[in-house]
Structure 1
Amino acid sequence: MVPIPQETSVLRVVNFADGSNAALGRNEPYQFARAHAFAFYRQRVLYSFIPKNACSTLRFSLAVANGALTPASDVNWIHANNPTFVADPEFVATCAYAFVVLRCPFRRLASCYLDKIVDGERHLLNLFPAPVYYLHRAFGRQALARKVQSLSFADFVRRIAAQEPRDMDSHWRPQSDFLLLRHYDDYFALEEFGRVQAALAAQGIDIIDTRGRLGHDTSGLDKISGRFTAVPGHQIRALKDQGQVPAPDSLYDDETIALVRRLYADDITLYQERFGPGNLLF
C-alpha cells in the first residue's frame, strides 16, 4: 500500500496575493486561482484545475478519491460540483504534493473550439455582447446554439482577442491565471499524459479515464487535413457526425497563429520553459 503523506516542509508561496493590498477575499486574480485549486484530502495533494486539460478525468478521479463517488457513478456529477473540493488556505499552505497539467496553447484553443463552439455550447461567458446573447436566447435554446455554431475558428479567435483575460470564459482564459502556487512539485504536459498517471499512482491516486463516457474529446474521430480556418462551426459539426474532425493545425492560418501568440504569450513561454518546444503546435 502506498503511504499517505501527512505533512511537508516545503513553503508554499501563492501567486497574486501581493499584487494588491486589498483583502484576499476581494483579490479577484487570487480568488479565481484558488477557486480552481482542488484538494485530494487523504493524500494531501493539491491539484490546480485548468479546463480543457484532462479536467473531467481528473475531477472525476478526485471525487472518487475523496469518497463522493464510485468509479461507476455518473461522470456528469462533476459539472455542478466544482466548488465542492476547493482547497482552503490551510490545505494550500500545508499540502504534501502539488501538481498542474498544462497544454500547448494552440492545441487547447483548437480543442475548445471543436468542443464548445462546434457543438453549440450555450453557457459560455462573454462570447457575444449581452444584447446579441439575449436576443438569440429569446428565440429558444436552439437559436442560441445555432448562433454559436455560426462562428468559424477565425471568428472565434478574433472575438476572444478583443477580451481582457478577466472577462474570458474559463475554457479559453490563459492557463497562467489558474496557477495558485508560484511553484508546483510537478508540471505535466497533457501531450504526455502517461506521466500524470504514473506520478499520481505514486501518491496513492488512481486516474479514471472519463473520455469515453463524456464524449468531449476528439480522440476517437478521424483527423482530416485541409483549410478550416473560415469554415462555420455547423459545417464542422456535420463532419463530426460522420466521425471526422479537422486536425488542430488545419484550423490555423497566419492571422490566427499571430493572435494566439499575442494572447497567450505567457502560456507559451511557460510551456516552453517546462517542456521545451517539441509539443507546441506552432
Structure 2
Amino acid sequence: MKIAAIQMCSGLDPDQNLAALEPLLEEAAGQGADYVLTPEVTMIFPENRDQLRSVAAPFVDHPQLAKVGELARRLGLFIQIGSLPIPLEDGRFANRSVLFGPGGEQRARYDKIHLFDADIAGLNAYRESATYRGGERAVTAELGEFRLGFSICYDMRFPRLYNTLANAGATLMAVPAAFTVPTGQAHWHVLLRARAIETGSYVIAAAQGGVHANGRSTYGHSLIVDPWGKVIAELDHDRPGVLVAEIDPQAVVEARQRIPALANARDFASPALQD
C-alpha cells in the first residue's frame, strides 16, 4: 500500500486553502498513493478566536468537506483531512479529523483529545481549552490491509493513546500536526519515532510548514516512520509538498514479534501518595 503525507502552509481563507490542497492531492494520486493525510488545521489556520468564529462552518453540509468527498471519489483515494475546526453548541470548537473513502463517503471522524493548557515562564498562559473542547473517544478505521489509528498534534506526547489504539488493532498511526519551530527542532522526530517503536506501528505525520498569514511559523518536516522506528521518508524542509512511501503490513507483524511490548504489558498498582 502506498501512503502520502501532504505538507501545507494554510492561511485564513478556507476556500483558498482548499484550492491549494487540490493539486497536492492530485500529485499524490499521480504517484500511486492509496491513502493521503493532510495536516492539522488544513482548512483554516486562524489568527484569533473571533476570526475562527467568522469562517468555521457547521459539520453538517460543510462546504469544503463536501468538496473533499468529491475529490476522494474522483481520485479514488482514501483522504484524511488532518483537522479542521467545527463549531459546537457550547461556543467552542472541535478540532476534528475526517476520513473519506475512495467512494467519497465519510468513513470515520475523530476529535482531538489532548489540549495544550500551560503557564509558561515569561509568557502569557495558553489555554487551548478556552477555544476547543477535547474529544473523549479514541478512534480507529479500516484502511485496506491496515487499521488506521487517529491522533492530532499534541496527542503525540501521550503514549497511552497510541498504546490503546495499537491494542485496538491499529497498525498505522496518523499524526497531522502544526508544530512550532522550536518544539519541532527539539521533539518532532524523537516523539514520532518513539510512538512507532513502542507500538510496532507505522506512523505518518503530515505537517504545516512555513510562515502563515496569522503570523505563526511552523516546522514542516512531514515524516513516515516504519514499525522499527526508521524514518523511511521525509520532506526535509518547511515548504508545501507531497511525501509518498510504500508500507507493508508484514513489517508490523515482524516488529511486534521481535519486541512483543504490547503482549508483555502488565497492569500494576500506582504508588501511594506520601504525606
TM-score > 0.5, shorter chain as reference:
no
Q: What TM-score range do you get, normalising by the shorter chain? A: under 0.3
| Larger-gyration structure (1/2) | 1
Give the structure-2-normalised TM-score: 0.25
> Whose strand proportion is higher, 1 or 2?
2
TM-score, normalised with respect to structure 1: 0.25
Instruction: Name the one with the larger helix percent.
Output: 1
Higher relative contact order (CA 8 A, sep 6+): 1
